[in-house]
Chains A and B, each alone.
Chain A
Amino acid sequence: MLTKILFTLVVLVSAASESFAHGTGFRTSELRAISLEFFYSTGEKMSYREAKVFSPKDSKFAIQSGRTDEAGRFAFTPDSAGEWRVIVRDEEGHQCEAVINISEEWLTNRENKENDKVITAQSDSPEGIELIIRALLGVSLIFNLAAIIRIRRAAHAH
């Protein structure tokens, strides 16, 4: 009889501890986070856009998903070395993909600020003088193509 009572008590206590396992808590993460800012070529921020993070282990299924904030910012915490991808897209078909190479040293050495070079600001589109040069090059290529067609036609006519 005593054995049965003891057994019942053990079962009840384990069930109770199982139910308490659904409590919540938080603590500061030991991992370093990477915070990125996403924007359009017009300079406008990609605010409240869908963001997905793909780890080096799985390039097909996102390990994390969410939305950028008002300033187009999105942060994630890589926990393994390799190539991490963050893809932010809007409903109009615009998409920006950031590829970040995380090294073992970056993961382990939190003090070394040099490691922050892993995160480099990259604009997908050219800006300033480079943009002007590329625009002029494009116009020049179009007119050169037209000139080639004209010359070939003239030669063909003769």
Chain B
Amino acid sequence: MHISEGVLSGSILITGWAGTCAGLAVGLKKTDMNKITRTALLSSGFFLASLVNIKVGPSSTHLSFLAPMGLILGWGVFPAMFVALLLQALLFHFGGLLVLGANNFIMGVSSLSVYLLFGKLIRNSDSKILVMALAFISGALSIILAAFLAGVFLTLSDSNFLTAAKLVVIAHLPLALIEGLVTAFMIGWLKKSAPEFLL
């Protein structure tokens, strides 16, 4: 999911940073500092999730928890992800410091989108099956959105938009299914055991 250093063009890197700075500004304003421990917990989960490798056929991928992050933190996903991505770049060499803005923007927007689309529906729904179904869609959609945005960023840096975007989206379809299942069970459990966690 991380775009490596040196792949994106200068103008796309600046665009990514501009989007991330805007997201961080709103995110920090909207984050309830009394619930900062919750933000730290999810940021840690996101930071560690990249280390969990899952074999999908001949290749392997790793979890990202984009949808649970969005559904629990809302706009607070931007600062939570920023810290995690910064530490991933410094400690694991995933992504990089220059490309951090673009990576944070791609993942933050995807995570926030599913919160804005399904957050309220999940919070207000009483049906366990509906909650799990919506959470599954959120999990899968967040990955597809992130892959699509990554494809757009890559193509705007290079060329051949449709081919690159299509390839990236197709490559992430197995992860989308896995994230959908993980999100469905995670949000289903939270809705039952700790509904106050969902924004």
Contact string against B for A residues 144-158, beta-carbon threshold 8 Å, 1 for contact and 0 otherwise: 011001100100000
List chain B residues, Cβ under 8 A from A143. Answer: 37, 40, 44
Expressed in whole angstroms, the minimum distance between the Cβ of A124 and any Cβ of chain B is: 5
Binds A, one of B17-25, B164-172, B176-184: B164-172
Q: Pick the contact of B92 from A43, A126, A142 — CB < 8 Å?
A: A126
List chain A residues, Cβ under 8 A from B4. Answer: 89, 93-96
Chain A, 41-70, CB within 8 A of any chain B CB: 41-44
Expressed in whole angstroms, the minimum distance between the Cβ of B67 and any Cβ of chain A is: 20
Contact string against A for B residues 87-107, beta-carbon threshold 8 Å, 1 for contact and 0 otherwise: 110011110000000000000
List chain A residues, Cβ under 8 A from B168. Answer: 91-93
A141, CB-defined interface residue at 8 Å: yes
Expressed in whole angstroms, the minimum distance between the Cβ of A54 and any Cβ of chain B is: 12
Number of B residues whose C-beta is below 8 Å from A? 39
Q: How far is the CA of A146 from the CA of B39 in the complex (A)?
A: 8
Q: Pick the contact of A146 from B8, B40, B62 — CB < 8 Å?
A: B40
Expressed in whole angstroms, the minimum distance between the Cβ of B162 and any Cβ of chain A is: 12
Q: How far is the CA of A139 from the CA of B43 in the complex (A)?
A: 8
Interface residues of A, Cβ cutoff 8 Å to B: 40-44, 87, 89, 91-97, 124-126, 131, 134-135, 137-139, 141-143, 145-146, 149-150, 153
Interface residues of B, Cβ cutoff 8 Å to A: 2-8, 33-34, 36-37, 39-40, 43-44, 47-48, 51, 53, 59-62, 83-84, 87-88, 91-94, 150, 153-154, 163-164, 167-168, 171
